[in-house]
Amino acid sequence: MIAAETALIAALDADDLPAIEAVLPMLGAAAAGLRTDGVWQKKPEILDRLRSAIALADAARVRIRYLADRNQRRIDMLAAAAGRFDSAPATYTRPSRAA
């Protein structure tokens, strides 16, 4: 899991779409392994590695939200430049968070 998250963060930081797409199956398989294998829950020495994995997941989440926000602002600016005020917001607002 840690290797997959580290690779995802590196790909996000490099804006490398093929690398992002390549790491997603690895990340999915690692997450599935955590769900099905309960052995990690019985070993206290794994807790530190789990905390590191959670911190990396949070770092990746922040990068993804930033990149999505940056792209949405670019789309809005292009729509405004094209005179498409029906699709561009008059002012910038953050999207509401899903609960």
| DSSP SS3 for 99 | coil
Structure tokens given for 46? 């794994």
Q: What is the pLDDT of residues 73-90, one digit of tens each?
A: 888 888 888 877 666 555
DSSP H helices in 37-84:
47-81
Share of the chain above pLDDT 90, in %: 30
Q: What is the Cβ-side half-sphere exposure of residue 45, based on CA atoms within 13 angstroms?
A: 0
| pLDDT in 10s for each residue of the chain, 99 residues | 889 999 999 999 998 999 999 999 998 888 887 776 566 666 777 778 888 888 999 999 999 999 999 988 888 888 888 877 666 555 556 666 665
Q: pTM of this prediction?
A: 0.62
Burial class (CB in 10 A: 0-12, 13-18, 19+), 87: exposed
Instruction: Kindly report the backbone phi and psi dihedral angles of residue 12, in degrees, each rounded to the nearest multiple of 5, phi listed first.
Output: -65, -45
